[in-house]
């Protein structure tokens, strides 16, 4: 592995400084498959927060998207640890995940699979105590398009032709 690659893995946020087109998001959205129950669960994780999915602990460090004017690309630097039957923590993944190619860099475990699906500016889940990651957009709802503006009533008007 080259020194540049080692530096990128040691400090994943350096990519945002190198590419001004990247947007640093405070929330990563993952999907996880429990192969025993065949259920897929979607969950939000704040940067630097560790959450447990089955026997896996996920900690995203950075989550980048691109502006709407560029080709969509969602990436996150994630560390995944496995809790063994002896309660030992073993790192099984440390690297970049790409939402556009979940099969390329997903975590494939004997019982659980986990992959990145999105990065976003806000979550319905409150930030953890002591959160010091990228700023969270207050009052933003899931799925809100920041370029679309607000709709006060929730109803979209139908254009009426002029008489």
Sequence-ordered list of residues with C-beta below 8 angstroms from that of 107, at least 6 positions apart, any chain: 56, 80, 92, 93, 113, 114, 115
Q: Would 131 be classed as within a structural domain?
A: no
| Structural domains in the chain (count) | 1
Percentage of the chain surpassing pLDDT 70?
Answer: 72
Tell me what pLDDT residue 104 has. 80
pTM above 0.75, yes or no: no
**Residue 43 belongs to domain spanning:** 3-120
Spatial separation of the C-alpha atoms in residues 114 and 153, rounded to whole Å: 38
Mean pLDDT of the chain: 80
Q: Would 71 be classed as within a structural domain?
A: yes
Q: Tell me: the pLDDT tens digits for 112-149?
A: 999 999 999 988 888 888 888 888 886 545 444 444 44
Q: Would 93 be classed as within a structural domain?
A: yes
Check whether 62 has a pLDDT greater than 70: yes
Q: Would 82 be classed as within a structural domain?
A: yes
Q: Would 18 be classed as within a structural domain?
A: yes
DSSP states of 81-146: EEE-TTS-EEEEEEEEEETT-TTTS-EE-SSEEEEEEEEES--SSPPPTT--SSPPPTTPPTT--T
Q: Would 81 be classed as within a structural domain?
A: yes
Q: Would 127 be classed as within a structural domain?
A: no
Q: Tell me: the pLDDT tens digits for 88-106?
A: 999 999 999 999 988 887 8
Spatial separation of the C-alpha atoms in residues 117 and 36, rounded to whole Å: 22
Backbone angles phi, psi at 53, to 5 degrees: -125, 105
Spatial separation of the C-alpha atoms in residues 135 and 130, rounded to whole Å: 13
Q: Would 55 be classed as within a structural domain?
A: yes
Please compute the mean of the pLDDT values over residues 9-24 and round it to a whole number.
62
């Amino acid at each position: 592995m080259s020194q540049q690659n080692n530096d990128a893995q040691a400090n994943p946020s350096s990519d945002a400084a190198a590419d001004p087109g990247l947007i640093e998001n405070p929330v990563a959205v993952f999907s996880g498959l429990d192969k025993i129950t065949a259920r897929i669960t979607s969950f939000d994780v704040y940067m630097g927060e560790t959450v447990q999915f089955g026997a896996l602990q996920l900690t995203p460090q950075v989550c980048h998207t691109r502006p709407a004017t560029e080709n969509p690309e969602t990436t996150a630097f994630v560390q995944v640890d496995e809790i063994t039957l002896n309660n030992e923590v073993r790192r099984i993944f440390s690297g970049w995940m790409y939402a556009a190619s979940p099969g390329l860099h997903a975590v494939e475990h004997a019982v659980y699979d986990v992959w990145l699906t999105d990065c976003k500016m806000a979550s319905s889940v409150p930030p953890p105590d002591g959160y010091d990651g990228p700023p969270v957009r207050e009052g933003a709802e899931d799925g809100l398009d920041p370029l679309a503006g607000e709709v006060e009533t929730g109803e979209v008007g139908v254009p009426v032709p002029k008489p």
